[in-house]
Amino acid sequence: MNAPHNPLSSLSPVDTFCFDNRYARLSPAFYRKLAPTPLPHPYRVSISHKAAALIGLDATQAEHPDVIEMIAGNRLPLGADPLAMNYAGHQFGTLVPQLGDGRALLLGEILNPQQQRWTLQLKGAGPTPFSRHADGRAVLRSSIREYLASEAMHALGIATTRAVGIVGSDQVVYRETAETAAVLLRIAPSHVRFGSFEVFYYRNQTPYLKELVDEVIETHFHHLQPETDGYEQFLIEVIERTARLMAQWQAVGFCHGVMNTDNMSILGLTLDYGPFGFMEAFNPQHICNHSDEGGRYSYENQPAIGLWNCSRLAQALTPLIDAQKCNDALALYANLYREKYYALMRAKLGLGISQEGDETLIDSLLDQMGTHGVDFTHWFRALCGFSSTSLRLNQSALSYLSTPLPSALTQWLEQYTQRLATEPQPEAERQAHMRQVNPKYVLRNHLAQVAIDKATTTNDFSEVDHLLKILEHPFDEQPDEEAYAASAPDWAKNLSVSCSS
């Protein structure tokens, strides 16, 4: 007997998506509809099969030539309704009343086979009405950085947009120098950001503001009821998600670099990777963005900037929420952040029970790490093998640290040993749990730079794929990949990234 005919089996993979373009059905004030600008002679740079699976593409489908053409903007999927999103934003503390997607296009929103909603966005898809005379393109260099960072952050358990793949071209675009163009397909449940609300607040267009809040609540916060206290609860949940995200960044030593309100996700996702960096030699004042001359977005400032950005969102929502209720919601941020941050740090130290004095123990450790410039990732990985009986650290991870160990950290280990003695958890079990939250591998700048150099000089993309596979398993030992856990070599110690990154 013949198998029943599946009408989708003969379709191209890009035409099997189930689109439900809710954002495109909002009022025209929220976007400008236009098609992407085709990328000439596109070629595959890298595809994340794990991210592709989220939009219903298996490994074979994800590598299909039509998928490459879709990412390049040369082939629109059936049902797509591409648009550039409209928003404003506070950039380095200053309001810019009109921004919008200047080099990105939302292809549309799909429901995957599990009925999860994902919005598909092409970054680098050509000029839009919001491009402000720019070319609307992304360059291969920055696309590789965002692609690897997105997937690395997800593997670390941190809320983030995802990256399906990069397509490149020999088309020349100009930044500081001549570079080649690329397009990144990134996905998220929503690409709505704080600035999406600000644009209508500052235009005094409350009906549009309400329309957007109602849409976001119905689609992503559907357990809330707008007709009661739903708007206030919506703000509280966004504040809670933002506080949690800031705690996650701090606990893994991640610096975003450009925490403008137009780069803040309404869902609490890490959004718009540019001059980001993972902390190496610990320095609370570390500035990862060479363009941030005043250090507004330094590592130690990130939690406070998260609150500042939430306050800008709250202000934008005052036409819908009483100002005092907005202030009450903002007042929750500090405790929400503190509770999450110290819970994460206790887990990194293998402390299963919250006790008085834990915060002092954690803070004193970070003080000493900062004083002596100890590598953030290496130190916490070394602690995973700490024996409270022999007072020895994980020797593999310790080998990356400068020796001898500073006496202040040796003294701290004595305090830590006393604290561990109050824990009921067996040592081997504690060590195993610590290895699940303290990564061995993070996307250090020099690793990204090696992959970028190979890609941009010889069109060799193998290092991008290889690095992706390592970063997908950051907590595993991966003994064959030890070199990827090492500190930056001398040539890379002065690498800098800026807003153009």
Give the residue-averaged pLDDT of 479-486: 96
**CA–CA separation, 329 and 309 (whole Å):** 13
Give the residue-averaged pLDDT of 358-380: 96
- Per-residue pLDDT tens digits for 416-441: 999 999 999 999 999 999 999 999 99
Peptide bond between residue 28 and the one before it cis (omega within 30 degrees of 0): no
Is residue 248 within 8 Å of residue 348, measured between CB atoms? no
Name the residues annotated as catalytic: 262
- Per-residue pLDDT tens digits for 17-31: 999 999 999 999 999
**CA–CA separation, 455 and 449 (whole Å):** 10
**CA–CA separation, 488 and 185 (whole Å):** 29
pLDDT of 1 reads 41
Outline where 358-486 has alpha helix (H).
358-372, 376-383, 395-398, 407-420, 427-435, 445-458, 462-471
Q: Which residues contact 289 (CB under 8 A, 6 or more apart)?
A: 255, 257, 258, 274, 275, 297, 497, 498, 499
Q: Name residue 105's beta-bridge partners.
A: 122
Which tokens in the block code for residue 135? 């070319």
Give the residue-averaged pLDDT of 210-235: 90
pLDDT of 2 reads 46
pLDDT of 397 reads 67
Check pLDDT > 50 for residue 466: yes
- When pLDDT is cut at 50, 70 and 90, the band that residue 200 belongs to is very high
**CA–CA separation, 14 and 61 (whole Å):** 9
- When pLDDT is cut at 50, 70 and 90, the band that residue 476 belongs to is very high
Q: Which helix (H) or strand (E) holds 255?
A: strand 254-255
Q: What is the DSSP string of 144-208?
A: HHHHHHHHHHHHTT--B-EEEEEEEEEEEEESSSEEEEEEEEEEES---BHHHHHHHHHTT-HHH
pLDDT of 4 reads 47
Residue 452, phi then psi, degrees to nearest 5: -65, -45
**CA–CA separation, 113 and 17 (whole Å):** 9
Check pLDDT > 80 for residue 404: no
pLDDT of 3 reads 43
Is residue 254 within 8 Å of residue 289, measured between CB atoms? no
What is residue 264's DSSP assignment?
Answer: B
pLDDT of 76 reads 97
Check pLDDT > 90 for residue 303: yes
Burial 463-499 (b: 16+ CB within 10 A, else e): bbeebbebbbebbeeeeebeebbebbeeebeeeebee
pLDDT of 11 reads 85
What is residue 433's DSSP assignment?
Answer: H
What are the start-end ranges of the E strands in 3-137? Answer: 18-19, 31-33, 43-47, 83-85, 89-91, 94-96, 104-111, 117-123
Check pLDDT > 80 for residue 382: yes
**CA–CA separation, 147 and 149 (whole Å):** 6
Q: Rounded to two decimals, what is the model's pTM?
A: 0.95
Q: Which residues contact 481 (CB under 8 A, 6 or more apart)?
A: 441, 470
Check pLDDT > 70 for residue 6: no
pLDDT of 475 reads 98
Radius of gyration of the chain (CA): 23
Give the residue-averaged pLDDT of 309-337: 98
Domain coordinates in residue numbering, the chain: 13-188, 194-343
* Burial class, 109, CB count within 10 angstroms (exposed 0-12 / middle 13-18 / buried 19+): buried
Give the residue-averaged pLDDT of 124-129: 97
pLDDT of 395 reads 73
| Residue scoring higher pLDDT (252 or 495) | 252
Q: Which helix (H) or strand (E) holds 138?
A: strand 138-139
pLDDT of 393 reads 80
Check pLDDT > 70 for residue 226: no
* Nearest alpha carbon to residue 89 among 161, 192, 190, 162: 192
- Per-residue pLDDT tens digits for 140-195: 999 999 999 999 999 999 999 999 999 999 999 999 899 999 999 999 999 999 99
Is residue 309 within 8 Å of residue 264, measured between CB atoms? yes
pLDDT of 239 reads 98
Percent of the chain at pLDDT > 70 equals 96
- Per-residue pLDDT tens digits for 81-125: 999 999 999 999 999 999 999 999 999 999 999 999 999 999 999
The overall average pLDDT reported for the chain is 94
- When pLDDT is cut at 50, 70 and 90, the band that residue 500 belongs to is low
**CA–CA separation, 61 and 56 (whole Å):** 9
pLDDT of 134 reads 94
Check pLDDT > 50 for residue 302: yes
- Per-residue pLDDT tens digits for 273-294: 999 999 999 999 999 999 999 9
The CA-atom distances, in angstroms, between 459 and each of 43, 131, 454 are: 10, 28, 7
